[in-house]
Structure 1
Amino acid sequence: MSLRIVVSSVSSDAHMWNLVYLQLLLEEAGHEVTNLGVCPPDGTVMDACRGADRPDLLVLSTVNGHGHLDGLRLIRALRRDAELAALPVVIGGKLGVRGADAEEGRRLLDAGFDAVFNESDQSAGRTLAAFGDFLAGLAQAAAVREPLVAGAPR
């Protein structure tokens, strides 16, 4: 099943290549992607996730090492918002300026992220495989939730 996915950096991250890579990777897998680009204010990210075209997933990617700060602030705002509280949200990339910090990843999960893909936790190939597994599980869950179309065979 195809997912609707919003891809974005965090508010302080001006790196675009990671977002383009994710967009191409996700589109090649058959998903519909909206790329918000670099340095979006938290409100812009939240607004892109509201309404009738609400995505199935928000993917935050960061390269500058401030994901543990900006991501924490954004996920807390998302989880406080009644319309967005249940939206699946993941974050990945370079989450801290000091390298891999398991505690930062744990704080992000505890704050409400559904998954954290810390670039220093494992090789890039294993990180992409874990992200792919997460997407497959989310797509499978979304397929179960799909409403039946009147007259369509089961």
Structure 2
Amino acid sequence: MELASAAPHAATTGLDVVVSSVASDSHTWNLIFLQLLLEELGHRVTNLGACVPDQLLVEHCRDRRPDLVVISSVNGHGAVDGRRVVARLRAEPELAGLPVVIGGKLGISGAGNRRHVSGLLQAGFDAVFDDSTGLGAFHSFVGALPTGRPRLPGAERRSGARELAGARDLSGALALTAAGAGS
């Protein structure tokens, strides 16, 4: 009964969020965890699943105009695949301002994966969350995005998301294994 009463509230106040992996990542547990987390926070989630081709993500976002895209990778190729997919999203004028974040295992260098953060931000992500810490920064970023707002032109939405969350300074993570999920 609580779920039924929460649904109308989420429909009017939460964000429309797309959760996706990168094209090379076949893991699903991380995507399910993120979907459940975001839904519990009151957002509506479309989970595109594993091994999502770049063009499918672009077309889905162009057709549905979500408020946020969350890309998660645990196979160690997040930095490489992430740069490519965010370039495709940003190349679409109507998606240029869409807040897009990436998190998880961004490379195969353990603690050295932090070196990918600045490059991914420069490539067009609004925030990057490596796998070295908890979910606090991710919660803060999502919580800072406005809900129930009219759609703004691309560039205005994107710069607003960066300013709201201080995304360039985020060093938080989507440390999904800390939440008890397995690979």
Q: Is TM-score (shorter-chain normalized) higher than 0.5?
A: yes
Deviation at residue 142 of structure 1 after TM alignment: 3.4
User: Which amino acid in structure 1 is aligned with residue 46 of structure 2?
Assistant: T
Partner secondary structure for residue 120 of structure 2: helix
User: For residues 77-130 of structure 1, what are the alpha-carbon distances to aligned partners after superposition, in whole Å with 9 as ceiling and x for unaligned?
Assistant: 11111121111000000000112333211100011100000002x2x3xxx111
User: Which amino acid in structure 2 is aligned with residue 25 of structure 1?
Assistant: L
Structure 2: runs of 5 or more not aligned: 1-12, 152-183
Task: Identify which of 130, 142, 145 aligns with 2:147.
Answer: 142
Check conservation: 2:14, 2:147, Cα contact below 8 A: no
Does 1:2 find its partner at 2:14?
A: yes
RMSD after superposition? 1.3
Structure 1 moving runs of 4+ over 3 Å: none
Task: Identify which of 14, 35, 51 aligns with 1:23.
Answer: 35
Partner secondary structure for residue 142 of structure 1: coil
- Percent identical pairs in the alignment equals 57
Does 1:99 find its partner at 2:110?
A: yes
Partner of 2:122: 110
User: For residues 46-103 of structure 1, what are the alpha-carbon distances to aligned partners after superposition, in whole Å with 9 as ceiling and x for unaligned?
Assistant: 111113x310000000000100000000111111111211110000000001123332
**Number of aligned pairs?**
138
Aligned counterparts of 2:88 and 2:60: Cα–Cα separation in 1: 14
Question: Between Structure 1 and Structure 2, which shows a larger proportion of helix residues?
Answer: 2
Structure 1: runs of 5 or more not aligned: 148-154
